[in-house]
């Protein structure tokens, strides 16, 4: 729909990697056969490669590259399972939570985590009998949110993707949310906060790498073995390891 409106659309899909083999079945381009061939579309599947949070480690950088390349809309499909896969908050301006009835999602809606970050809620397969119960659970969850006069109130949209029903309303709501962010001076502020959090994340990753480069596993095991009788706590062992860190310029 977006491509036919002459918008350039990038789709960054993320698939889980096996914790055993490390492999990932990235079948998104196969499932998006017509879209992947559209001249206005770019589809890029990526594995999580062990990263937690629902997205790949460099998803945010991939998104920025797509923006720099002139794409008007960047859609990020997360792994999307459980309540802790919310790293998408550090990349996307608009977060869409897609649920289906009769799969336990209505109960999960009352839990913290994923359900608290949604800007738009989509109940797909809304022609199923349990759809009304799922919508009621979502409305209950939304009523528990802390709202102010400037807060965005998420809408619950019904779709039937197989029949292309409700997709136009979803498209309109996405752009309504962007308009809301701009009019309330939130788009720039949110992006600034995301950038700060990303800098912190990268810094922690680099420090973690430096930490273990300066402390070999054998040395750490020696400290642990010498403390196995319990005379030294794990906190003291950690302090000893940190003291061995040597940064550039030391």
* H or E element in which residue 42 lies: strand 41-47
Per the structure block, which two tokens stand in for 90? 């550090």
Alpha-carbon distance values, 54 to 14, 63, 78, 116, 145 (Å): 8, 15, 5, 15, 23
pLDDT at 23: 52
Expressed in angstroms, the distance from the first to the final Cα of the chain is: 57
Angle between helices 217-226 and 234-243 (to 10 degrees): 140
pLDDT digit string, tens, across residues 176-193: 999 999 999 999 999 899
Question: Is the overall model pTM greater than 0.85, yes or no?
Answer: no
SS3 (DSSP) at 121: strand
List the one residue out of 32, 42, 28 whose CA is nearest residue 71.
42
Count other Cβ atoms within 10 Å, centred on residue 154.
20
Stretches in the chain below the pLDDT threshold 50: 50, 52-54, 83-84
Residue found under tokens 């759809």: 131
Q: Can you tell me the distance from the alpha carbon of 85 to that of 88, in angstroms, rounded to the nearest whole number?
A: 8
pLDDT at 237: 79
In 82-216, alpha helices (H): 105-108, 131-143, 167-183, 187-214
| pLDDT given at position 110 | 53
Give the model's pLDDT for residue 63.
86
Q: Return the CA Rg of the chain.
A: 22
């Amino acid at each position: 729909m977006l491509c036919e409106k002459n918008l350039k659309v990038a789709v960054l899909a993320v698939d889980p990697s096996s914790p055993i083999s490390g492999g990932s079945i990235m079948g998104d381009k196969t499932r998006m056969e017509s879209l992947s061939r559209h001249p206005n579309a770019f589809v890029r599947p990526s594995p999580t490669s062990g990263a937690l949070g629902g997205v790949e480690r460099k998803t945010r950088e991939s998104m920025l590259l797509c923006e720099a390349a002139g794409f008007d809309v960047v859609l990020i499909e997360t792994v999307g399972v459980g309540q802790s896969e919310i790293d998408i908050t550090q990349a996307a301006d608009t977060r869409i939570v897609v649920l289906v009835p009769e799969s336990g999602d209505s109960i999960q809606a009352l839990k913290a985590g994923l359900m608290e970050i949604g800007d738009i809620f989509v109940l797909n397969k809304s022609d199923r009998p349990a759809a009304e119960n799922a919508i009621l659970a979502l409305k209950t969850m939304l009523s528990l949110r802390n709202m102010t006069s400037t807060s965005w109130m998420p809408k619950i949209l019904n779709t039937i993707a197989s029949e292309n029903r409700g997709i136009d309303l979803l498209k309109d709501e996405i752009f309504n949310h962007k308009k809301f962010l701009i009019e309330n001076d939130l788009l720039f502020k949110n992006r600034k906060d995301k950038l700060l959090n990303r800098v912190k994340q990268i810094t922690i990753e680099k420090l973690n790498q430096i930490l273990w480069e300066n402390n070999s596993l054998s040395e750490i095991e020696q400290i642990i073995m010498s403390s196995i009788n319990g005379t030294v706590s794990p906190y003291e062992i950690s302090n000893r390891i940190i003291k061995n860190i040597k940064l550039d310029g030391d």
